[in-house]
Structure 1
């Protein structure tokens, strides 16, 4: 009895629905997702030498911007500089002491060592050591500690350069751990900084969509209200899937523009290159229920069908799987069931 009353209820009800005849054509599918901006370079500024931190060309404060090549931090280097000068003075004495011996034992090499000696300056980097013409000459210089002293000074010059830390890129400080006046030790973190002229948009996309995206694809990026836009390029795709969200991250490279600045942590819309899909149809996404089912109207009644979903967009679904000419419902139906009477709105 109960089943008969349900059947009578279905016959008594009549739904007026929007429907469209299935006709397969070529449709354009686009992928639009939201991503978060991050810097291509996130770097810790660390000391490699010991000494008191002195001010550089920029203020060592969180949020301070700097340009590539600017002096960020200077560490007190007078002691190291004076030690280097003393080493160079001793080295010059050593070269001066061997010049008479070279003139006698290696007359053909005397001029190049004399020129080398004349080019030495205490306040300038050491010039290149003259090329060794023979093993005997090499043994002679080694026995007088010339080679050892030379390379020790070159090493000290490299170390002296580490007392000044220059910006490797255009960026900003995101955190400052030691300020001018503090004493830095080798390995001390002075600040954290990010690159601001080269950024990446990290866009999580569904695994099905990831197959449609290729490295090198152009991407249209905009704010959520689409008032400001940029053009980016896909530089890489993650080789693994996030198990929680079942998404794959696509990385889009963007360049900072003065007129339209970009900021790390900003959320933006990414619209990837459109793809053409042949022999398919597009309907509103809310007309599909239970992932891949739609209603059709056949002989005045609703009938449930499964479809093959090829692409899900923000508001539409591209599908195939229904015979052409079938009347497919193109709107959501609340509490509708198979067998209900239905009339198509004209």
Structure 2
């Protein structure tokens, strides 16, 4: 009887043990399924450190490299005819932009030339008697003298005595007075100093132009300067001749170069002024520009989105057991969207997109 009871008890214990082991296994499977269902889906990227170029963004407005303000040095009526003196009007180098009526002044110049001619003629008899070796030269000068043409150089005296004689008669002083008046004649016509166009004007044809009056502004529309401010800590990386690229609002790339660097630091902003020159007829005066100025390259570094940075020096990465953890990094350079960091080992998976509520030890699953 005891043997039968012992046998039955043993069978019951075996069945009970089998049942308990099945329940435990089932519980583990359920727990694993629940854990997988609760794991957060994340996007990651595998780190490969490289040499990252560092550049800073700077902006400003374009101004023409060749810009002149036009002023009148004489007085008279602005003649009608030719191209209209209006903003946007283009001229080629040497083309007449402004023609001022100077007939009254021109007549006074001819009168002074006639006075000079009369003076030279009056001394010819003395030259023939006392300086006959040079008489024929002066005589030919008088014959070829034309008051309607620019005055030619006076004959050179052969002796010092002849020079004193010519000086004493006032010929040299009157000659240089004529030369001065002829130079003033040139100011009645203003020619374009280079190919360009007017950007503003203050007079119209037919009006009276006064001495010293500003007439307009003229620019070369193919050469421009861009003045930008750069933090002074990057001054050692700036060099004359460094190439700068600019993508205009017309989606056209323009290449310029640094032509000047101001050695003075602005006390209020702690920046220095850098001047970049662009040569392009597609650019416009006053155009707003934002350029990237290359500084240097940082070796063995990695570029990430600024949104991934935690407390300014940490980022999340995914461990082998698919849990999150933080790694401390060294920040090298910030721009508007990204930050260049160092200290991330090659080959580890870091989050490529930030997730809400992330914490060390959080269970995740990689979806990409």
Give me the TM-score of the superposition, normalised by structure 1: 0.79
Report deviation, 1:131: 3.1
State which drifts further: 234-243 or 125-134. Answer: 234-243
Q: Would you tell me which structure has more helix in proportion to its own residues?
A: 2
Query: Matches of 1:342 and 1:124 in 2, distance apart?
Result: 99
In structure 2, how many angstroms separate the alpha carbons of the residues matched to 1:341 and 1:139? 108
CA distance 1:319–1:110, shift in 2 (3 Å) = farther
Is 1:130 the equivalent of 2:151? no
Per the TM alignment, residue 281 of structure 1 is displaced from its structure 2 partner at its CA by: 2.4
Q: 2:237 aligns with which of 184, 196, 212?
A: 212
The reply on whether 1:62 has 2:83 as its aligned counterpart is no
Q: Which deviations, in whole Å up to 9, do the C-alpha atoms of 1:280-333 show, x marking residues without a partner?
A: 22223433466x423244874543735231x44454332335566776554445
1:143: Cα distance to partner? 0.9
Query: Is there any run of 5+ residues in structure 1 with no aligned partner, and where?
Result: 1-12
Matched, 1:256 2:280: yes
Aligned to 2:110: 85
Give the match's secondary structure for 1:54: coil
Helix, strand or coil at the partner of 2:104? helix
Aligned-pair distance for 1:154? 0.5
Match of 2:291 among 263, 266, 270: 270
**What residue in structure 2 maps to residue 4 of structure 1?**
none
Post-superposition CA distance 1:149-205 (Å, at most 9, x none): 011001101111111111112222222222223222221111223221222233444
SS in 1 for 2:190: strand
- Cα 1:188–1:119 change in 2 (3 A) is same
Residues 59-89 of structure 1: CA deviation (Å, up to 9, x unaligned): 1222322222221112210011111111111
Aligned to 2:12: none
Which residue of the partner structure matches residue 143 of structure 1? Answer: 168
Structure 2, unmatched stretches of 5+, are 1-37
In 2, the alpha carbon distance for the partners of 1:267 and 1:100 equals 74
Residue-by-residue CA offset, 1:203-250 (whole Å, 9 max, x unaligned): 444445554332112222222463x22322221233345566655443
Q: Distance in 2 between matches of 1:152 and 1:332?
A: 84
- For 1:319, which of 317, 337, 341 is the aligned residue? 341
1:101 and 2:122 equivalent? Answer: no
Structure having the higher Rg: 2
Q: TM-score, normalised by structure 2?
A: 0.75
In structure 2, what is the Cα distance between the partners aligned to 1:289 and 1:163?
72
Q: Which residue of 2 aligns with 1:193?
A: 218
Equivalenced residues, count: 327
